[in-house]
Amino acid sequence: MPNFRKASPSRLRLVITRRTGQLLLMKVLHFANSSGSWGGSGVAFIDPQRDPYESTRGRMYLIAKDQFEQVHRQEGAGRNWYGELLELGESDGFKIRTFTNVGIRPANVPSEQYLRAMADGIKVPF
């Protein structure tokens, strides 16, 4: 069983275990909104609807439920951000969940730094 430490209430501290894996979602990836954390550039969202002709690569991490909820709050759980929770299936008996927006937000180009962060995040499993 993974060893989860309690996240500090004053700052996010995710404990990423050795239990990581890759995902291939039959969903469209798009960039939207204007993120102050990324210099006003767009950030990633996946369309909640399944699309048999498009796919999006991702990475999953086994984290505690309270850590997932904390990340969700930090990323923006409101209606204009990541207000939609998606159940993506199971892996080794654990639910796979993510968050996105219920619809398509106004498009905005992501920064190069943001794209590098995304690429680094999926590099290892793929």
Distance CA 5, CA 10 (A): 14
Give the model's pLDDT for residue 63. 92
CATH number of 20-123: 3.10.490.10
The pTM (predicted TM-score) of the whole model is 0.79
Q: How many CB atoms lie within 10 A of CB 106?
A: 9
Q: 14, 7 in Cβ contact below 8 A?
A: yes
Give the model's pLDDT for residue 52. 92
Q: Is 77 left (phi over 0), alpha (psi -120 to 50) or beta?
A: alpha
Give the model's pLDDT for residue 20. 82
Quick one: average pLDDT of 86-108?
Answer: 93
Tell me the per-residue pLDDT of 21-60, one tens digit each, with 9 for 90 and over: 888 999 999 999 999 999 999 999 999 999 999 999 999 9
Residue 37 makes CB contacts below 8 A (sequence gap 6+) with none
Residue ranges of domains in the chain: 20-123
Quick one: average pLDDT of 58-69?
Answer: 92
